[in-house]
Amino acid sequence: MSKKNNQRGFSLIELIIVALIIAIMATLALPAIQRTLQLYRLETGTSYVINRLTEARLSAIKRNRQTWLEINTTNQSLSMKSTNDAGQQIGLGFPTYLPEGVQFNGVTPGSVVFTSLGRNNANAITQINLKLSTTNRNKTISIGTTGNITTAGY
């Protein structure tokens, strides 16, 4: 009778080689993952601003009075405001903060005002620039004189 040598499983060297291959692949993928996360944050911040601009515009039409979106570059937030029947300034909702790593860049003016017809109160196109604090990637949000909102950049 002969005995068969039934070895099952992997040797220690095989396991170490597989672990090294996984570590190398993870090291190569990490910068791409970080870059993707940063771009995702920029897109999220852009969506926040567009949503609040749209909300302010619709509120101006609905309330039949000027509504504006204040841009605070110190704490990277947006606040929507209007006036009540007595002409007093009131806040509408809570402030919206940009995601971590995204900031306003060269925003002029400090607020975007929509008329009761939903038009941009400025006589020119208003631009809001967002940028990543770690790279030179940016997005520009433009509000036309008719109130239309467009984006550009990356």
Residue type, 92: L
Instruction: Dump pLDDT digits (tens) for 70-112.
Output: 999 888 999 999 988 888 888 888 999 999 999 998 776 688 8
Name the average pLDDT for the chain.
Answer: 87
Residue, of 91 and 154, whose pLDDT is higher: 91
The per-residue pLDDT for 77 is 92
Bridge partners of residue 77, in order along the sequence = 72, 97
**Rounded distance between C-alpha atoms, residue 129 and residue 11, angstroms:** 57
Cα separations in angstroms, 11 against 5, 71, 86, 131, 140: 15, 62, 81, 51, 56
Q: Which strands make up the sheet holding 89-97, listed edge to edge? A: 89-97, 77-83, 67-72, 111-114
> What token pair was written down for 32?
């791409």
Instruction: Dump pLDDT digits (tens) for 36-52.
Output: 888 899 999 999 999 99
109 cis-preceded (ω within 30 degrees of 0): yes
Question: Which residues have C-beta within 8 Å of that of residue 44, sequence separation ≥ 6?
Answer: 99, 102
Please give the CATH number for the structural domain made up of 12-152. Answer: 3.55.40.10
Residue 81, number of CB atoms within 10 A of its CB: 18
pTM (whole model) above 0.85: no
**Rounded distance between C-alpha atoms, residue 25 and residue 89, angstroms:** 56
**Rounded distance between C-alpha atoms, residue 136 and residue 130, angstroms:** 10
Cα separations in angstroms, 28 against 34, 36, 135: 11, 14, 20
